Amino acid sequence: MTGFAALVRLIVRRDRLALIVWVLVAGLLPSAVVAATVAGYPAEADRLAFAATALVNPAELAARGPVFAPTVGGLTAWTFTSSGTLLGGLISIVLVVRHTRADEQAGRRELIGAGVVERPAPLAAALAVVVGANLAVAAVVAAGLLTSGMAVAGSVALGLAVASGGIAFATVGAVAAQLVEGAGAARGIGIIVLGVAFALAAVGDVGGSAAIWVSPIGWARHVQAFADEQWWVLGLFVAGAAFVAAVAFALSARRDVGGGLLPARRGPSTAPPLLRSPFALAWRLHRASIAAWTAGLTMLGLLFGAAMSSLGNQLDTPAFRSFADAFGGGSVADVFFRFVLYVLAQVVAAATIASAMRMRNQEVDGLADAVLTTPVSRARWAAGHLACTAIGAVLMLAGLGLGAGIAYGTPLDVLGTTTAYVPACLVFAAIAVAATGWTPRAAGVLAWTLLAATLVIDLLGEFRLVDRAVMQLSPFVQTLQPLTIGSGLVVSLVLLVALAAALTAAGLAGLRRRDLGT
């Protein structure tokens, strides 16, 4: 395919740093989990006890699937497979869209297309790089596990399971990039598919139903690394990814460069009366993603709520009781929701960072200039965007809580639990704002790194590998603990809101004094 090799080199050159960081971090994480498991559960009895509680805990079943073997390898695979697949899937979607639809939208694809490049080469090159990076993750995972003294078959199987998940979602991203004209919308479609796949795997494993077999995340779990590996499941990935990739190539052959399959409609030739302020403009720019996230999280909530109301009594076993007591006690549903919502709140925090970064993206794209050369101050422009970010966080968490609560029958209780995470999410938005004010070029990297660091601390904290005092630094732990204990919530939330407000104020001060567009 003419032009393929040159395009692969171009993509690798543009993203070399991100690719290296991704491959190393995702690749070495399982070895860290091995070390954590050995340290946290040294004796076989400990592991058996842990596996017994995890197997009857619907929250753990939903988030990670069943434990297939109470060994160090089995627990490592159980811990890493779902989150590794989610992470790899998300990065794969974002990268494929970035090198296909985003380039097309920016007009760079035309420069390439006018050169000696065959029509399918850009899509093939983007997929090749992302598939290659996923396979590199698999290689690093396997090498790391072998170095830790794990069995060969399990090490290879775990690497391939996670990589296959990433590859499957890369092809989903490729199809999404053909469907719509906007890169943001294409990413949104890919992420919604990822969310649905996760929800199907969760419901399938909690209920023991066939739903796991229609979800790549379910497939990755049921490769059963380190527990009588089911190699044939990898065949499902090969067939599925090949089919979806073929659909993407067929769609791309059928359409014009720059066009989508869903045609762009004409719009109104005059602005609606309300579009007259920086806030109104910001709302126009944020509303589609807020609506998509809120709808997705509401559906996820409904699924979990429904799963709980049908399975709740079955799971009220002594083993689960002891887990529940360790987790603050209360009814089975309370504990389940507390744990699942804690994890999903972290997803909302990611969406909130993305929303807060939109302000910086507007600046980089030159769109801030258009507003800021009218009589609108920088503070007023920023306030419009930040109000949308805050509204978005509230709506997403409220949708999640209402969905779960309505399906389970206690809407207000669950709604209270989810909206308690609003301040924690806003702290991360505020970090992004502070960085936008003072270190604009590093703002995105800084905000995402801090969120990732918090998630790693929370994860390691679950294995008691991190000191309790360090865990207190996590805004999520600051919310979960009072919810679990049942007191001190107001103090925690006030402190988090104050922190978010201080960071935001600092960011706005920085924004006022620096050059724009640099």
Residues at the contact surface with another protein, assessed by CB under 8 A: 105, 181-182, 264-272, 275-278, 280-281, 284-285, 288, 365-367, 369-377, 515-518
Instruction: Name the residue type at position 410.
Output: T
Is 475 in contact with 430 (CB distance < 8 Å)? no
Rounded distance between C-alpha atoms, residue 407 and residue 415, angstroms = 12
C-beta separation of 92 from 134 below 8 A: yes
Q: Closer to another protein at the Cβ: 208 or 517?
A: 517
User: Which residue number, 271 or 502, has a Cβ lying nearer to another protein?
Assistant: 271
Residue 9 or 287 with smaller CB distance to another protein: 287
**C-alpha–C-alpha distance, residues 355 and 363, integer Å:** 14
Closest CB 453 distance from another protein, rounded Å = 29
Nearer to another protein, 331 or 377 (CB): 377
Using CA atoms, how far apart are residues 403 and 409, in angstroms rounded to an integer?
Answer: 10
Q: How far is the CB of 518 from another protein (least distance, A)?
A: 7
Which residue's structure tokens are 């400990």? 46
Identify whether the C-beta of residue 337 lies closer than 8 Å to the C-beta of residue 405: no
Eight-state DSSP code of residue 366? T
> Residue 180 Cβ, how far from another protein at the closest point, in Å?
11
Q: Which is nearer to another protein, 275 or 502 (CB)?
A: 275
Give me the least distance between CB of 232 and another protein, in Å please.
45
358-393 burial, b if ≥16 CB within 10 A, otherwise e?
bbbebbeeeebeebbeeebebeebbbbbbebbbbbb
Nearest to 329 by CA among 168, 480, 486: 486
Nearest to 99 by CA among 183, 185, 5, 194: 183
Rounded-to-integer distance, Cα 495 and Cα 475, Å: 10
Shortest distance, position 249 Cβ to another protein, whole Å: 24
Closer residue to another protein, CB minimum distance, 208 or 366:
366
- Terminal Cα distance for the chain, rounded: 39
**Cα–Cα–Cα angle for 174, 178, 183, rounded to 5 degrees:** 80
Closest contact distance (angstroms) between CB of 361 and another protein is 11
> Angle of helix 443-462 relative to helix 332-356, nearest 10 degrees?
160
Number of CB atoms found within 10 A of residue 86's CB = 23
Please, which residue, 270 or 313, has the CB nearer to another protein?
A: 270
**C-beta of 313 vs 373, nearer to another protein:** 373
- The smaller minimum CB distance to another protein, of residues 269 and 313, is found at 269
Task: For the CB of residue 266, give the shortest distance to another protein in the complex, in Å.
Answer: 5
Shortest distance, position 186 Cβ to another protein, whole Å: 13
- Compute the least distance from the CB of residue 177 to another protein, in Å: 15
